[in-house]
């Protein structure tokens, strides 16, 4: 795999992470507004969604750092 191919895959992963955050927020909104769950269960669901979003944000940051590092490297094959 060439460096440019790897970068393409990383960029796709970044788009996936961003899309996942949107999905998590939509699920959170649906849970809160339509689920009929108790406030305690809604709180738990909110915490889980917030955790997933936070994890995705951290992963996205690492992917961006990797892209920066790759763009600074001189070797073409990995």
Task: For residue range 4-18, list pLDDT tens digits in order.
Answer: 999 999 999 999 988
Question: Which residue is it, tokens 């406030």?
Answer: 39
Question: Which residue is it, tokens 């909110």?
Answer: 46
**Is pLDDT of 76 > 60?**
no
- pTM score over 0.95: no
Say if CB 57 and CB 21 are below 8 A apart: yes
CA neighbor of 11 nearest in space, from 54, 52, 64 = 64
pLDDT digits (tens, 9 = 90+) for 29-71: 887 778 888 889 888 988 988 898 899 999 999 999 999 999 8
């Amino acid at each position: 795999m060439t460096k440019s191919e790897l970068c393409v895959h990383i960029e796709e992963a970044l788009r996936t992470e961003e899309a996942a955050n949107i999905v998590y927020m939509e699920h959170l909104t649906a849970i809160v507004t339509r689920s009929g769950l108790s406030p305690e269960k809604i709180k738990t669901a909110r915490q889980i969604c917030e955790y997933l979003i936070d994890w995705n944000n951290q992963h996205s940051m690492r992917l961006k750092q990797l892209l920066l590092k790759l763009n600074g490297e001189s070797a073409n094959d990995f």
